[in-house]
Chains A and B, each alone.
Chain A
Amino acid sequence: MSDTIQPVSENRLLAALSARERERLAPHLEPVTLSLSEVLFRPDERLRHVHFPISAIVSLLTSLEDGTGMEVGLVGREGMIGISAFLGGNETKVATVQATGECLRLEAGKLREEFARGGALQTALLRYTHALMMQVSQAVICNARHPVEGRMARWLCMYHDRLGRDEFELTHEFMANMLGVRRASVSEVAEKLQAMGFISYQRGRITMLNRKGLQEFTCECYQSVEQKYDDFLP
């Protein structure tokens, strides 16, 4: 029942392309299926491909020197993974697939070439870069200020928005990273949200029971970023 196929809409950045750009890029866009926990890149790896998710969701993790990570961004069909392809420099984050799904992949060099032409793709990518900046900014604020339950509610709403279905699995590791807590604390926080009747949680399987309630329970960061996120996007 959780596997009901959603109508797969297009990636939002690719949808912003002009007819001409679309024509030029189409032969190079390769559909791939991303599987859960697949790592798209690690810090300092040479970026070979960029990914435009359609139904897949990818999380961006920043790590400390001891190897522990924390979620700083979530990318679905509104965005792309591999901004260093046009910004320059190396990726410094780990990009891990959090929801299996479809994606269009493009060689990083091709993207750079098209970006340099300065058309609609460049405009869309620059606006997306800024939108991502705003998302990460909010994580800075949220991590400094908000209790872990509100933060979990926020990430679950963001995840739910991108996934478009009520039942999903999240690994313990992902949730620990998402909140910056030890794995052992994850169940504790999830059980609190369950006790309030917002979700049901069983061994990593989450069912959204009361999205409205969960959203109201999120810290204000959900409202300030996600509801405005749409305006920031191309």
Chain B
Amino acid sequence: MTNMFESNSGFTKNENRLRYGGANTDGGARPVAVAASGMSRANRPAKPVPFNGLLTNKLLTALPGEDFARLLPHLEPVSLTCGEALYGFGESMLDVYFPESAVLSNLHVLADGSTTEAAMIGKEGMTGLSAIFDSPAPSHWTQVLIAGTALRASTRVIKEEFARGGAMQRLLLGYASACIEHLAQRAICNGRHTVEERLCSWLLMIHDRVGDDQLSLTHEQIARHLGSRRAGITEATITLREREIIDSSRGRIRIADRPQLELAACECYRTLSRQNLMPAQS
């Protein structure tokens, strides 16, 4: 089985980051990776992905060279679209995803059909821990919040790596611990902080993961993730806009003043960035 990484052995490890060596990126031409057809699983054919050649997922970049080399042939770049659900509800997870530029959400659906986000997953993490840990499928949806790229691997391969008891096991156990911390902080945050504070923390978390000031988010989407009424989100957005912390127009939010956004956020953002191995940008 081959994929783009194998066919272009132009990756070099550079300052703990993998760089795509063979690409011609000037003039906006980006290498397009098309996963080999043999790699596609189940009913989800791989999509062609414009790949910028940087490997930024923190779990993957933390793997020692030898472990990473073993995994490389099994990593398949995919592009994820906003709103896409990565797994059927309650279905076993045949693949796991290591987000690169994509940001994912674990969304719980309540009895009345409304949703609330329990956790956010970006380039600091991965999906599918429950499958690696041999647990039943979780009771939430994993949905794409911000469209982007991810690396996909079969759960079986990651489980085999985990069972070796080496670096992958240490990393995933550490990640599980970070996930529990993330959840615990979000639990107390939801219990104690105002919608506006929570919105600020949430935007900062996305900003760190995406690295772009322009975020495509509707008020509706924000309300669905924060579990608040849309009117409350609109109100909070207006306040932040008046203070020139963000700009917002139809379906878009631009982070205009990141330091002020940090000041307006609750302490949970700082705590979460410490815990999630995801350093704050400023």
- Contact partner of B139 (CB less than 8 A), chosen from A72, A73, A132, A224, is A224
**Cβ of B239 under 8 Å from chain A:** no
CB-CB < 8 A to B133: which residues of A?
Answer: 126-127, 129-130
CB-CB < 8 A to A144: which residues of B?
Answer: 116, 190, 226-228
B116 touches A180 (CB 8 A): no
A120 and B57 CA atoms in complex are apart in Å by 31
Instruction: For residue B104, give the distance in angstroms from its CB to the closest CB of chain A.
Output: 14
CB-CB < 8 A to A84: which residues of B?
Answer: 177
If the complex has contacts A137-B183, A231-B136, are A88 and B190 also in contact, measured as CB distance less than 8 A?
A: no
- Contact partner of A137 (CB less than 8 A), chosen from B119, B163, B227, is B119
**Cβ of A48 under 8 Å from chain B:** no
Instruction: For residue A135, give the distance in angstroms from its CB to the closest CB of chain B.
Output: 9
**Cβ of B151 under 8 Å from chain A:** no
- Contact partner of A145 (CB less than 8 A), chosen from B116, B138, B188, is B116
A228 closest partner in B (C-beta): B139
Question: Which of A86, A130, A137, A224 has most chain B Cβ within 10 Å?
Answer: A137
CB-CB < 8 A to B111: which residues of A?
Answer: 220
List residues 159-185 of chain B with CB under 8 A from any CB of chain A: 163, 165, 170, 173-174, 176-181, 183-185
CB-CB < 8 A to B119: which residues of A?
Answer: 137, 140
List residues 100-138 of chain B with CB under 8 A from any CB of chain A: 106, 108, 110-111, 114, 116-119, 129-130, 133-136, 138
Residue-wise interface mask of A (216-234) relative to B, using a CB-CB cutoff of 8 A (1 in contact, 0 not)? 0000100011001001100
CB-CB < 8 A to B192: which residues of A?
Answer: 64, 68, 70, 180
Chain B residues bordering chain A, tally (CB within 8 A): 43
If the complex has contacts A64-B188, A141-B110, are A132 and B173 also in contact, measured as CB distance less than 8 A?
A: no
A62 touches B185 (CB 8 A): yes
A83 and B181 CA atoms in complex are apart in Å by 12
CB-CB < 8 A to A224: which residues of B?
Answer: 108, 139
List residues 67-104 of chain A with CB under 8 A from any CB of chain B: 68-70, 72-73, 83-84, 86-89, 92-93
A133 touches B165 (CB 8 A): no
CB-CB < 8 A to B28: which residues of A?
Answer: none
If the complex has contacts A144-B190, A145-B110, are A129 and B176 also in contact, measured as CB distance less than 8 A?
A: yes
Instruction: For residue B182, give the distance in angstroms from its CB to the closest CB of chain A.
Output: 9
A139 and B180 CA atoms in complex are apart in Å by 11
**Cβ of A136 under 8 Å from chain B:** yes
CB-CB < 8 A to B134: which residues of A?
Answer: 123, 126-127
**Cβ of B191 under 8 Å from chain A:** yes
A62 touches B184 (CB 8 A): yes
Chain A binding surface SS class = helix
Instruction: For residue A62, give the distance in angstroms from its CB to the closest CB of chain B.
Output: 4
Question: Which of A86, A89, A123, A145 has most chain B Cβ within 10 Å?
Answer: A145
**Cβ of A157 under 8 Å from chain B:** no
**Cβ of B140 under 8 Å from chain A:** yes
Chain A residues bordering chain B, tally (CB within 8 A): 45
CB-CB < 8 A to B140: which residues of A?
Answer: 137
B177 touches A89 (CB 8 A): yes
A145 touches B227 (CB 8 A): yes
**Cβ of B275 under 8 Å from chain A:** yes
A70 touches B173 (CB 8 A): no
If the complex has contacts A140-B186, A144-B227, are A88 and B170 also in contact, measured as CB distance less than 8 A?
A: yes
B179 touches A133 (CB 8 A): yes
A137 touches B267 (CB 8 A): no
**Cβ of B187 under 8 Å from chain A:** yes
A234 and B134 CA atoms in complex are apart in Å by 10
CB-CB < 8 A to B185: which residues of A?
Answer: 62
If the complex has contacts A70-B187, A88-B173, are A64 and B108 also in contact, measured as CB distance less than 8 A?
A: no
A sample of 25 inter-chain contacts (CB < 8 A) reads A62-B188, A70-B192, A84-B177, A87-B177, A88-B170, A89-B178, A126-B135, A127-B134, A129-B133, A130-B129, A130-B130, A130-B138, A131-B135, A133-B183, A137-B119, A138-B118, A140-B183, A141-B116, A141-B118, A141-B190, A143-B187, A143-B190, A143-B191, A180-B191, A224-B139
B residues sitting closer than 8 Å to A (CB atoms) are 106, 108, 110-111, 114, 116-119, 129-130, 133-136, 138-140, 163, 165, 170, 173-174, 176-181, 183-188, 190-192, 226-228, 267, 275
* 15 additional contacts (CB under 8 A) given A72-B188, A136-B187, A145-B116: A62-B184, A62-B187, A72-B184, A89-B177, A130-B138, A137-B106, A137-B118, A139-B187, A140-B116, A140-B183, A141-B190, A144-B116, A144-B190, A224-B108, A232-B135
A residues sitting closer than 8 Å to B (CB atoms) are 60, 62-65, 68-70, 72-73, 83-84, 86-89, 92-93, 116, 118, 123, 126-127, 129-134, 136-141, 143-145, 180, 220, 224-225, 228, 231-232
